[in-house]
């Protein structure tokens, strides 16, 4: 006999904010959630790419914004709540990287990466917590990275920012436990995006994780039965050794 709560959760009609949505992992997530019937609120800085994507997807709205700007984030969430009346899903995906030896890395670069990767995750999460609490339900999914758990040469700044994302995720998951709001992280290894080309120009794109693979994992986490919760997903390239 099938347990009554073991049915797949539907995303049809759910309101989802996705940051960094104009390309790479964010775009793949947007396309995947659109196929599930979600109402999309897409955030990015590249207006041309964002507008082009919105034209391809049903019930999608573009927000040209900087996730590291408190004013921009508050404007986006306020606009979503005024139009949709709720926020069901937040995907914190926007991210940048600076790579190279630490002695050649400027303080400004360090601050910029932390502001976008960790600061953006903080600002968006903070902005949606109260609406989700009032609803008694919500999902915050943070796209972290293998570098949030492991150290990599010439990735000190990027690694620090993703360690911060993991730390935020852990703390918020505990803080919001029992409210109906679930906070989780996905930590991929090398994904075939523009960022990996900058971070690891030595890698061939063949054999890397595809953005669509991460999008499928996002959809799985959001639609899995409510009887079990997956807090963190580590995703490695098929050819790499296990992390443990």
**Among all residues, which ones are annotated catalytic?**
158
Q: Report the C-alpha gap between 117 and 94 in whole angstroms.
A: 7
Q: Report the C-alpha gap between 128 and 116 in whole angstroms.
A: 17
DSSP 3-state of 28: helix
CB 211 within 8 A of CB 24: yes
Which pairs count as long-range contacts for 224-228, CB under 8 Å and 24+ apart, including other chains?
224/8, 224/9, 225/3, 225/5, 225/6, 225/7, 225/8, 225/9, 226/5, 226/9, 227/3, 227/5, 227/6
In Å, how far are 36, 72, 82, 95, 233 from 144, measured between CA atoms? 23, 22, 29, 9, 10
């Amino acid at each position: 006999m099938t347990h009554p709560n073991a049915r797949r959760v539907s995303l049809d009609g759910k309101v989802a904010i996705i940051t960094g949505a104009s390309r790479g992992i964010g775009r793949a997530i947007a396309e995947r959630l659109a196929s599930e019937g979600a109402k999309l609120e897409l955030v990015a800085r590249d207006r041309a790419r964002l507008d082009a994507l919105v034209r391809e997807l049903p019930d999608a709205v573009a927000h040209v914004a900087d996730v590291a700007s408190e004013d921009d984030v508050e404007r986006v969430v306020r606009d979503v709540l005024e139009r949709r009346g709720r926020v069901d899903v937040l995907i914190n995906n926007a991210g940048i990287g600076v790579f190279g030896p630490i002695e050649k890395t400027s303080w400004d670069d360090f601050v910029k990466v932390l502001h976008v990767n960790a600061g953006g995750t903080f600002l968006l999460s903070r902005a949606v917590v109260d609406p989700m609490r009032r609803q008694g339900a919500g999902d915050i999914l943070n796209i972290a990275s293998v570098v949030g758990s492991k150290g990599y040469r010439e990735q000190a700044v990027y690694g620090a920012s993703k360690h911060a994302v993991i730390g935020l995720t852990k703390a918020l998951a505990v803080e919001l436990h029992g409210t109906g709001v679930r906070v989780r992280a996905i930590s991929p290894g090398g994904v075939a995006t523009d960022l990996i080309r900058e971070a690891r120009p030595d890698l061939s794109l063949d054999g890397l994780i595809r953005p669509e693979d991460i999008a499928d994992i996002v959809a799985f986490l959001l639609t899995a039965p409510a009887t079990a919760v997956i807090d963190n997903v580590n995703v490695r390239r098929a050819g790499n050794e296990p992390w443990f």
